[in-house]
Amino acid sequence: MSDNKGVVYLGPGQVDVQSIDDPKLELEYRGKKRQCHHGVILKVLSTNICGSDQHMVRGRTTAPSGLVLGHEITGEVVEVGRDVEFIKQGDICSVPFNIACGRCRCCKEGDTGVCLNVNPDRPGAAYGYVDMGGWIGGQARYVMVPYADWNLLAFPDRDQALAKITDLTMLSDIFPTGYHGAYTAGVTTGSTVYVAGAGPVGLACAHASQLLGAAVVIVGDMIDERLAQARSFGCETVDLKQEASLPDMIEQILGVPEVDCAVDCVGFEARGHGHDASVEKPATVLNQVMQVTRVAGGVGIPGLYVTEDPGGVDEAAKHGNLSIRIGLGWAKSLHFTTGQCPVMKYNRGLMMAILHERCQIAKAVNATVIGLEDAPQGYSDFDHGAAKKFVLDPHGALKSAS
């Protein structure tokens, strides 16, 4: 290892690729060192730009300048800690974006998104993310992964993994996250589904809904290119710039103004509908999905909501307080699932679906490979609504594999 570089957040709207320290099997956070003999060092083969990263880069969180970004990581093990027993040097692995110890009550019950031991500030941790425990991000050439035996998903065949790396790279976050949103909303054989948002997570959720057997998947967005991408793999779409109400647009497709299940893949930077499409209204999507979901239906909410938003539209929104119609949800007996996706619940099954040609997630989200040095342009293009999932290739491994 040498010449490690990473994508560094400098301030609102600014990222740069800079030299960073080589990873060690330890974490230093707020002046305290944590030894990680249970960890490994990965040579990062692919690492993706995520919409959650974009929230930070826009200045919509309290992320500090100097933060190394990146929580969607796939890599090759190049160094193994003293206490690692089953993961071996040379393994190619997917890294769940949730960092989990495998020992606490939440981990033992499968709730790895809210591990109790890896973040001194609150439950749950992630790589390269604000208030998530200080773990260094993986938009870099090398990264340290703690609790490796527990966290890492090793691919069974190296050549097969490299051949499908642009699909497998989605296992670290957006494919399980989209699947989680659909699954917890109750999507199953014959379901009708509304997915709010045609960004990468929304597209992943739409494809996951198809994998789960949905009869009709309707995707709503305001960006024509993203709606076209949703249609490219068989989804119906609604253009939320239009003045027609969402129930009316759904009725034009299904014959009824409601769906069995709905998924919010937008989160706290939601905008209004129709003439309000240019105005930020953070409760819009939550209220719409309650409106269009049938009585006793389900709503998945993998879209990110935060407790502190410096750019919130009002004082309430700055502290995560939104005007949602909870009375409507209660009256309709809807069930809701929120929070980080516990990636480990789904990643092995989704890996098998990829390896055995049951899904084409890279095609669905329009995976677009760029070099690590091109990350600033990737962030800019993503911020302007590009219908692409940008995959960073720090060592040219994806280019070589293709």
List, for residues 305-317, the tens digit of each pLDDT value. 998 899 999 999 9
Give the pLDDT confidence score for residue 398 in this predicted structure: 87
Q: Are 320 and 88 in contact (CB under 8 A)?
A: no
Burial 115-128 (b: 16+ CB within 10 A, else e): bbbbbeeebbbbbb
Give the pLDDT confidence score for residue 200 in this predicted structure: 97
Q: Report d(CA 178, CA 201) in Å as an integer.
A: 6
Mean pLDDT for 18-42 is: 95
Tens of pLDDT, residues 120-162: 999 999 999 999 999 999 999 999 999 999 999 999 999 999 9
| Domain 176-338 homologous superfamily, CATH | NAD(P)-binding Rossmann-like Domain (3.40.50.720)
Q: Report d(CA 141, CA 266) in Å as an integer.
A: 30
Q: Per-residue pLDDT for 28 more than 80?
A: yes
Give the pLDDT confidence score for residue 220 in this predicted structure: 98
Mean pLDDT for 76-94 is: 98
Of 3 and 86, more confident: 86
CA distances from 29 to 84, 117, 134, 139 (A): 23, 14, 6, 19
Tens of pLDDT, residues 248-275: 999 999 999 999 999 999 999 999 988 8
Write down the mean pLDDT value for the chain. Answer: 96
Q: Per-residue pLDDT for 365 more than 90?
A: yes
Q: Report d(CA 75, CA 137) in Å as an integer.
A: 13
User: What residue ranges in 236-380 does DSSP mark as E strands?
Assistant: 236-239, 259-264, 293-301, 335-338, 367-371
Indicate the class that CATH gives domain 5-173+342-401: alpha beta
Q: Report d(CA 2, CA 7) in Å as an integer.
A: 16
Give the pLDDT confidence score for residue 3 in this predicted structure: 87
Domain definitions of the chain by residue range: 5-173+342-401, 176-338
Q: Per-residue pLDDT for 181 more than 90?
A: yes
Give the pLDDT confidence score for residue 399 in this predicted structure: 73
Q: pLDDT band at 60, cuts 50/70/90?
A: very high
Give the pLDDT confidence score for residue 402 in this predicted structure: 54
